[in-house]
């Protein structure tokens, strides 16, 4: 099947905003997700958005969804060194049968 | 939300041996999932484990190499059999929390030497 796409690397300065982008493939995906993986750790669900929403905000996190372009983004405001991690977007395909991850974006936060 | 305990957290194994990874969930769940994350890669689903039936394997994964047990609704094991260095990966179990996403174990970092 087609891949979920993300840019692999992103570097930002501490205090700036980070924007991580994702392109997904299944227009029938009802939920889209962002997961965070810190070094040596498992995956942590950061946030998710229902497909009938354009935007969801949760403290420093803002998720934007463009269904027409199948584009999902995660914005982290006031990025901190503790935000350094790999961020995976994920979609549910085939009406819930398959949960598919993007390749992950490695976010580096510079002091 | 479900809490998953996964162990071991890491292991270094000799080629040709087998390792069994355990996942314990603090609530009953219908399906448990096993993923592999190869170095620098995203996650790939190995199989779905249902209680009371044989696991369903994804393309490229077979039961002889990755036997799975699911004896009850809170526990599952994945065995990596006859290991080779190519099996060096992080293995993660996961459960479906419904529409709010999946919960993952902390992962098992396997190195085969």
Count CB pairs under 8 A between chains A and B: 43
Chain B residues close to A102, C-beta within 8 Å:
42
- For residue A103, what is the nearest residue in chain B, using CA coordinates? B42
Q: Return the DSSP state at A3.
A: P
Tell me the CA distances in angstroms from B46 to A59, B61, B108, one per residue in order: 34, 6, 14
Q: Residue A97's pLDDT is what?
A: 59
Query: Which of chain A's residues have a Cβ under 8 Å away from the Cβ of B43?
Result: 43, 88, 101
Q: Are B9 and B90 in contact (CB under 8 A)?
A: no
Write down the H helix ranges in B1-113. none
Taking phi over 0 as left and psi of -120 to 50 as alpha, with beta for the rest, A36 belongs to beta
The residue of B43, B107, B110 whose CB has the most chain A CBs within 10 angstroms, and thus the best one to mutate to test that interface, is B43
Residue B87: DSSP 8-state: G
Tokens 């039936």 identify what position?
Answer: B53
Nearest residue of B to residue A36 by CA position? B104
How does pLDDT run along chain A (111 residues), one tens digit per residue?
457 899 989 999 999 999 999 999 877 777 889 999 887 777 888 998 988 899 999 999 999 999 999 999 999 999 999 999 999 999 877 656 567 888 899 999 998
Q: Is A111 exposed, middle or buried (0-12, 13-18, 19+ CB in 10 A)?
A: exposed
């Amino acid at each position: 099947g087609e891949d979920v796409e993300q840019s692999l690397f992103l570097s930002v300065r501490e205090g700036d905003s980070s924007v991580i982008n994702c392109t997904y493939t299944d227009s029938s995906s009802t939920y889209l997700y962002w997961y965070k993986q810190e070094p040596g750790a498992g995956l942590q669900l950061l946030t998710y958005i229902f497909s009938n929403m354009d935007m969801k905000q949760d403290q420093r996190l803002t998720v934007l969804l463009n269904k027409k372009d199948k584009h999902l983004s995660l914005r982290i405001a006031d990025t901190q060194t503790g935000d350094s991690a790999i961020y995976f977007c994920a979609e549910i395909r085939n009406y819930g049968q398959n949960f598919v991850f993007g390749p992950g974006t490695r976010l580096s936060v510079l002091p | 939300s479900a809490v998953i305990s996964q162990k071991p957290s890491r292991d270094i194994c000799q080629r040709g041996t087998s390792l069994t990874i355990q996942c314990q969930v603090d609530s009953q769940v219908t399906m448990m999932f096993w993923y592999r994350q190869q170095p620098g890669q995203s996650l790939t689903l190995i199989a779905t484990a249902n209680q009371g039936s044989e696991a369903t394997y994804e393309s490229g994964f077979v039961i002889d190499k990755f036997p799975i047990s699911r004896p009850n609704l809170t526990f599952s094991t994945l065995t990596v059999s006859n290991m080779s260095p190519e099996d060096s990966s992080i293995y993660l179990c996961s459960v479906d929390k419904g529409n709010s996403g999946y919960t993952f174990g902390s992962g098992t970092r396997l190195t085969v030497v």
